[in-house]
A and B are shown apart, each in its own frame.
Chain A
Amino acid sequence: AQSVTQLGSHVSVSEGALVLLRCNYSSSVPPYLFWYVQYPNQGLQLLLKYTTGATLVKGINGFEAEFKKSETSFHLTKPSAHMSDAAEYFCAVRGGSARQLTFGSGTQLTVLP
């Protein structure tokens, strides 16, 4: 079985500051890992994913995440926050034969002017 823990249900950063959203996972098999973003009243949009290969993955809108197996982490970062980054961010894991994703509880990102 897989599980995801997102530390911090709410994160606030100033515009231009570093964004760091934390995600730790549990999986009995090598995982596929994902970050999705949800803007108000919208669906879930894929930001980036890790499947195999390079552990540092780049996504849309300047976001990137690094898969660290030893720490079972997949933290999401962006060097410089923009007002348009304000949204809810979900980390998700898929492992083994299961095709469905297991989501974390989400982190609401607020960007302060």
Chain B
Amino acid sequence: EPEVTQTPSHQVTQMGQEVILRCVPISNHLYFYWYRQILGQKVEFLVSFYNNEISEKSEIFDDQFSVERPDGSNFTLKIRSTKLEDSAMYFCASSGTSGRSTGELFFGEGSRLTVL
């Protein structure tokens, strides 16, 4: 069964360092997303990406964040200068095909980011 894969599963970094989280969405999907979940809190939308550009973003997704689809398979989230409050589980998701979409998102297992 196709799945969304994320790397790394866990990353520890020092405050101020740049971090790149990587995702391989399901191959025929067209829409890609990043969500985050701070420990014990709700899953929060960060950004959606379609046709090589950002289609929606939340107020959390400020200038410290960027997304990229550098090739035909990977989808990355970059945090330029990490802060303590960026510590969270980051989930990548994908949805949609060229045909009719039922709207569900398929999530990866997550990348846990710990900022020290």
Contact = CB atoms under 8 A, between A and B. Distances in A.
Interface string A42-86: 111110010100000000000000000000000000000000000
Interface string B76-116: 00000000000000010101100000111111111000000
Interface string A77-113: 0000000000000100010001111111110000000
Contacts of B91: 43-44
A101 B95 CA distance: 11
Contact of A99 (B48, B106, B110): B48
A34 interface: yes
A104 B109 contact: no
A99 B96 contact: yes
A43 B108 contact: yes
B75 interface: no
B12 interface: no
Interface residues of A, number: 21
Contacts of A42: 109-110
Contacts of B44: 103
B31 A44 contact: no
Contacts of B68: none
Interface in B44-70: 44-45, 48, 50, 55-56
12 contacts: A43-B91, A43-B109, A44-B93, A44-B107, A45-B107, A46-B106, A90-B42, A94-B103, A99-B33, A99-B96, A100-B48, A106-B42
Interface of B: 4, 31, 33, 35, 41-45, 48, 50, 55-56, 91, 93, 95-96, 102-110
Interface of A: 32, 34, 36, 42-46, 49, 51, 90, 94, 98-106
